[in-house]
A and B are shown apart, each in its own frame.
Chain A
Amino acid sequence: MLFQRVKTLLKTKKQLKMRSKDNMNKQVFFKKKKACPFSGEDGMTIDYKDVKMLGRYVSEKGKIIPSRITSVSAKKQRELSRAIKRARYIALLPFVAN
């Protein structure tokens, strides 16, 4: 009996979470089903020297765009972040852009 009550409690909590997430995402970021462009066999390689590719994952101000917008997987986002920071160090990308 107790277990069933706990189960139903958890269900409603999950539903609440999902509902609010959906509302948020529907308003702002519609395309959520995109795949990570770097994963898979034919994914792009992350290279700190490739300024054109890196520039797509950097905002107008030069900040790194979060993966919930670009739908990059977590592991690749870490690699991408490392590559962007290397490119910033050797002045291929700015730290702050105007």
Chain B
Amino acid sequence: MNKYESVLIARQDLGTSQVSGIVSDLTNVLKKEGGEVVRVDSWGLKTLAYRIKKNRKGHYVLLNIAAPATAIAEFERIMRFNEDIIRYMTIKVDAFSEGKNSSEDKETVEDAE
């Protein structure tokens, strides 16, 4: 079982409930292959630094996963076929990082207001 960190960007046309539906589908796929999702962190709708597939904004979701390598291969395969996910990146990590970073900035802005 290795530790992975996966960031995926979903199309801006989707609602937050649909995005969490996609995430739960992916979680089930991982569970079937013997992995588990340790943490799900949704950064919400953010403006992209450049246009991806004609989208200017996207729903960011961060997943911390502990799974065997075959489960990750299946996980990425499903994401490749899903048209709602416009970009994904899975990285193998030694330890899960605490703290959200991208959503931290958002929270501080809200507190200040």
Contact = CB atoms under 8 A, between A and B. Distances in A.
Size range of the chain B interface in the assembly: 10 to 19
A81 B54 CA distance: 27
Nearest to A95: B50
A76 interface: no
Interface of B: 7, 9, 48-50, 52, 58, 60, 62, 87, 89, 91, 97, 100-102, 105
B101 A91 contact: no
**Secondary structure type dominating chain B contacts:** strand
B97 A90 contact: no
Interface of A: 45, 47, 49-52, 86, 88-95
B97 to A, nearest CB: 6
A90 B9 contact: yes
Contact of A91 (B49, B91, B100): B49
B102 A92 contact: yes
B50 A50 contact: no
Given A89-B89, A91-B58, A50 B101 contact: yes
